[in-house]
Amino acid sequence: MTINKLALTSRIVEFDDRSIHLTECGEGFPVLMLHGGGAGASGMSNYSRNVEALAQHFRVLVPDMQGYGRSSKGVDRADPFGDLSSAMLGLLDALDIPTAHVVGNSLGGACALRMALDCPERVTSLVLMGPGGVNTTRSVPTPGLRLLLNYYKGSGPSKEKLERFIRDYLVYDGSLVPDEVIERRYQDSLDPEVVASPPLQGPKGIPNFKKYDFTRDSRLQRCETPCLVLWGAEDKVNRPSGGQALQKRMPNCDLYLFSNTGHWVQWERAVEFNACTIGFLQSHTL
């Protein structure tokens, strides 16, 4: 497959005790794109409507995050955002990339934000779409998030569970999601290693709230990384009020709320997402 004569390549990058499946396209300043944490999620399935546009301007890096897709499995339940951050910073090290823009949806947004807090010198700018870990300890989980966390519990994974989540909770208009997207996600969710150790679970034991909710991390107010937050006004997984919570605390945070849009802004509103993301990243490219 090619994108405007730019090759789309795929490989496994190994470092430390991890192996990360990476898809890459384009040239220029690197943009690391981190996917969400739903059952069967992977990098390219999350960003299928965005890579082509961004690769015209940047070197686009789309990994399957630790625990997902063709990458190594297992995520530290005591500090999942920190573990994912370490994995993605390690990936940048393995690629000899000192700094990058980081784009993250949902769980990927939480990972991206944790990267900026842990190693601000490595993250040139952030684009966060409905990120996890915002106000999560200040109210009960949304019905959409509960479905995510319980997918592998009870009767175990099923196509009915996944279809309900995607059509009724992930997007604003579930009728627009092709059947093949659901089928592919379902088949990927059946990976025996993932079933044995689901990467997205609730906290184990008494949680350290600071590690699960960025609004309780004092570093957030000192994070000067330029940040663009994109949130669907009808998000049923992570509450849109999280956008205002981030803008209130982060010194350089812009916020864009999309009407009639759910949790998957980059898929539901791809044209607008691509345009505003490219413009934002270009304005902050070194």
Catalytic residues: 263
CA atoms of 211 and 133, how far apart (whole Å): 8
Please give the distance of CA 266 from its chain centroid, rounded to a whole number.
Answer: 11
Q: Are 92 and 63 in contact, with CB atoms under 8 Å apart?
A: no
Q: By three-state DSSP, how is residue 69 classified?
A: coil
Beta strands 9-15 and 18-25 are antiparallel
Residue 97 in tokens: 């990339």
Q: For the sheet containing 9-15, what is the strand order?
A: 9-15, 18-25, 59-63, 30-34, 100-105, 123-129, 227-232, 253-258
Q: Are 68 and 90 in contact, with CB atoms under 8 Å apart?
A: no
Neighbours of 274 (CB within 10 A): 18
Cα end-to-end distance, the chain, whole Å: 30
Q: Beta partners for 227?
A: 126, 253
Q: By three-state DSSP, how is residue 224 classified?
A: coil
CA atoms of 78 and 232, how far apart (whole Å): 29
Greatest alpha-carbon span in the chain: 52
CA angle 97, 99, 103 (to 5 degrees): 105
